[in-house]
Amino acid sequence: MTQKFQINTKKQGFTLIELLCALAIIGICTALSIAILKPAQKSTLKYLYISAYQALDRAYYNSYVKGFDPFSTLPDENGRTPVFTDTQDTGAKTLCQGLTSFINTTTNVKTKDQDYSSTCSDTKLTSEMADNFDSSKIQFTANNGMNFYISKKLSVEDELEFYLVFVDVNGAQQPNSIEYTYNDEEKTEDAKIEPDIFAFAILDTGRICPIGIPEYDSNILTARMAYFDSAGDVAYTKKSMPYYQAKGAAWGYYNEGTDDYIYNLDEPYSVNDIIRRAINPNSKIVKDFPVLREKSPVVLSAEAPYNCAVQDFESCYIFLDTYIP
C-alpha cells in the first residue's frame, strides 16, 4: 500500500490581533527596561565609588608605610628639597607614586627598586575648584579605567594638611562631572544625570576622608557612625543612613525626644567640615552642602556615647557602607 504525503503550500501570516499583542508586549518590556535603567546606573556608581574609596584607603596606608610621604619637607635621596607651590607640588608626585605602587596601572615602571606609574607628575595639578578635569591633568589611569587627579597640598590654618584626590570612576564615559548634569534646560528630575567624579581628602594623619557627593545625596552612598569603646574596639551603630545624616547624628545635630534640631553652620564639628571650609567657597564640592536642620532627623539609640565631643572631632568616625543590596 502506497502512502501519499500531502505538502501544504498555503502561506500563513500573523493576524492583526496577534501583531497588536506582540507590539503590546514589546512596549511593556521597553517601558520596564527604561524604568530600571536609572536605578541600575546609580547602583553601578555606588559600586564604583566604594571600589575607589577602598582602593585609595589601602593604597595610601601601604604606600605611607613604604615611605611615600607626600607631606614630608625633608630633602629626598638626591638632596632635592620638596616644592609646594600653586604650579608645582612634589608631594603630589610622591602621592601618585605611592598610590600606583599598590593600584595597578598599565604605565607602571617595574625595576628592582620601584614599581609605580611613569605618568606621575609634580605639575599636573587639578584645582580644588573642581571645575576642570582635562585629560592632560590625569595623574594616572587604573587598569579598571578609573582616572585619578591630584590637587596641590592644601591646609587648614597650618593645623591640618591634605591633598584632594578626584576619581573619575567610569573613566572616559560621560558625564565626567563632579556635580549633577541634566538632559534638558529645565533640569527636571527625570533628566538628572548622576555625577561620576568623586573627591577624597588625603590627610597627613594617614586617613582618607570622603568629600562631596555622599555629603549631600542619599542616592549614592550610605554610612554608619562608629566609635571606639573602652577596650579600643570599634562599635558600630546598626542603622545605615545618608552620610550627612550619620555625621549629623554623631555630632549631636539631631537630639532625641525634642524638635530642637540644632545645626551651627559656622562651627566645624567634623573633619569633613574643616576640610570643606579650607577649600575655595566657590568650589563645586563646597557650594551645595545642605542645611541639616532642613532634613528629616534620624533618631539613634540613646546609649552612650553615640555622640562626639566638639573639642575632639576624631573621637568618632563615619564609615562608608560597603554593602550594596
Q: What is the pLDDT of residues 169-199, one digit of tens each?
A: 999 888 899 988 888 888 887 888 888 999 9
- CA-nearest of 213, 218, 286 to 49 is 213
- Residue 305: other Cβ atoms inside 10 A: 14
What is the average pLDDT value for the chain, to the nearest integer?
A: 76
Name residue, grid cell 600653586.
86
Provide the percentage of residues in the chain whose pLDDT is more than 90. Answer: 31
What is the pLDDT, as a whole number, of residue 294? 58
Location of C-alpha cell 584626590: 165
- Contact between residue 284 and residue 131 where contact means Cβ atoms under 8 Å apart: yes
CA distance 23 to 141: 45
Helix (H, G, I), strand (E, B) or coil at 243: helix
Q: Give the torsion sign (CA, 164, 168, 174, 179).
A: negative
| Average pLDDT over every residue of 31-58 | 69
With 0-12 / 13-18 / 19 or more C-beta atoms within 10 angstroms meaning exposed / middle / buried, residue 8 is exposed
Say what the pTM is.
0.75
Other beta carbons within 10 angstroms of residue 162's beta carbon come to 26
Per DSSP bridges, beta strands 197-203 and 222-228 are unpaired
Task: Give the DSSP H or E segment for 56.
Answer: helix 16-66
Q: How far is CA 22 from the centre of its chain?
A: 43
| Residue 242: closest CA among 306, 290, 180 | 290
Q: Are 235 and 226 in contact (CB under 8 A)?
A: yes
Q: Pick from 318, 287, 316: which is nearest to 304 by CA? A: 316
Torsion sign (Cα): 226, 315, 248, 213: negative
C-alpha cell at 10: 498555503
Residue 1 CB contacts under 8 Å (≥ 6 apart), including other chains: none
Q: Average pLDDT of 266-272?
A: 57
Beta bridge partners of 150: 125, 165
C-alpha Rg value of the chain to the nearest Å: 26
Query: Residue 325: which pLDDT band, with cuts at 50, 70 and 90?
Result: very low
What angle do the packed helices 16-66 and 90-100 form, to 10 degrees?
Answer: 110
Of the two residues 19 and 118, the one the predictor is more confident about is 118
Give the closest residue to 150 by CA, choosing from 85, 76, 92: 92
Domain ranges of the chain: 39-211, 221-325
Task: Return phi, psi of residue 73, to 5°.
Answer: -105, 5
Question: Could you report the per-residue pLDDT of 94-137, keeping only the tens digit for each?
Answer: 999 999 999 999 999 888 878 999 999 999 999 999 988 999 99
Q: With contact defined as beta carbons under 8 Å apart, do 205 and 266 qualify?
A: no
